[in-house]
Amino acid sequence: MKSPLLSLPGAVAAEGSDEGVAAHYGDLFREQRALADGTGLVDLSHRGVVTVTGDDRLAWLHLLLTQHVSELAPGEATEALVLSANGHIEHALYLVDDGATTWAHVEPGTREALVAYLESMKFFYRVEVADRTDDIALVHLPAGSIAEVPEGTAVRETPYGRDLFLPREGLEAYAAAHGPLAGILAYEALRVENHRPRLGFETDHRTIPHELGWIGSAVHLQKGCYRGQETVARVQNLGKPPRRLVFLHLDGSEVLLPGHGTPIRLAADGAEGRQLGFITTSARHHELGPIALALVKRNVPVDAELMAGDTAAAQEAVVEV
């Protein structure tokens, strides 16, 4: 899904998972500062949009998701996961209900599998699942933004800003009226600063919610049964996760950022040391300099000096040891 905003002057296309929208519009740090100051707009129209309608929608989703949504109030935003039978994360949904429809945006490339799963679980429930990506585009306004929200638009409001589900045909006009535009790299730098995990970046095929700090924000520990709940309950009550998310301050003298998958080792062990984790997302921040999120083994000391490939890194704990 290629955004029409990529044709604007200065737009540089993003690559990888975020292909289809702009990485930046010519000035990464200016775009970050604008978002941090509560101005600007981020084009997230490459993300999938899925809706659920019908009288049973919230009760039905409550049975499938890790979050307590059966009594979700209109306008209340939440996050939820779909887990495998073994408790591994398969999908992440960013939800809001408007009183008649539950709206969710999801990672690029995941909507088809999610819709297929939801369709397979409908049974006798009065629900309708729809992939709305072709006609609805997601736009992000930062916290503090005073940009107008068109009447009738579904809005997901969080401490980090507002996600707007706009008609795709109106994306260009809305962006022109409520700029300046900020690219996905600016958005990602602020996400890393706020320690917010992202499916497909901070997750792999064996990630469980405890490792990323998704307990509470996306997983409700007192709700009824859902697929994978046994693993969640066992780790919560009897043990600790095998890995934990950390925030890294990277050595600013290095020209290149360590990319996704770069091995993490103890600095004292050198390049031949045992791998203890890997970089999940790295970014250049307008104030903090080069930063990253990483998954490391739970028993890595919090005060240990680390190396991300050839780059020195100091860690801050995100998930309790």
Percent of the chain at pLDDT > 90 equals: 94
Pair (172, 39) in one structural domain: yes
Range of the domain at 190: 4-47+135-194
Residues annotated within a binding site: 172
pLDDT of 321 over the 80 cut: no
Residues annotated within a binding site for substrate: 172
**Three-state DSSP class for 230?**
helix
Residue 229 forms part of a structural domain: no
159-214 pLDDT, tens digit per residue, is 999 999 999 999 999 999 998 999 999 999 999 999 999 999 999 999 999 999 99
Per-residue pLDDT, averaged over 79-92, amounts to 98
DSSP 165-191: EEEGGGHHHHHHHH--EE-HHHHHHHH
Pair (35, 183) in one structural domain: yes
Residue 76 forms part of a structural domain: yes
13-54 pLDDT, tens digit per residue, is 999 999 999 999 999 999 999 999 999 999 999 999 999 999
pLDDT of the residue at 281: 98
Residue 15 forms part of a structural domain: yes
Q: Of 194, 211, 228, which closes a domain?
A: 194
Residue 237 forms part of a structural domain: no
Pair (151, 29) in one structural domain: yes
For residues 321 and 311, give the distance between their C-alpha atoms in angstroms, rounded to a whole number: 24
124-147 pLDDT, tens digit per residue, is 999 999 999 999 999 999 999 999
Pair (40, 66) in one structural domain: no
Pair (23, 64) in one structural domain: no
For residues 78 and 90, give the distance between their C-alpha atoms in angstroms, rounded to a whole number: 17
Pair (154, 303) in one structural domain: no
Q: Of 131, 166, 183, which closes a domain?
A: 131
Distances (CA, A) of 104 to 43, 155, 240, 274: 16, 11, 30, 40
Number of domains in the chain: 3
The CATH number of the domain holding residue 104 is: 3.30.70.1400
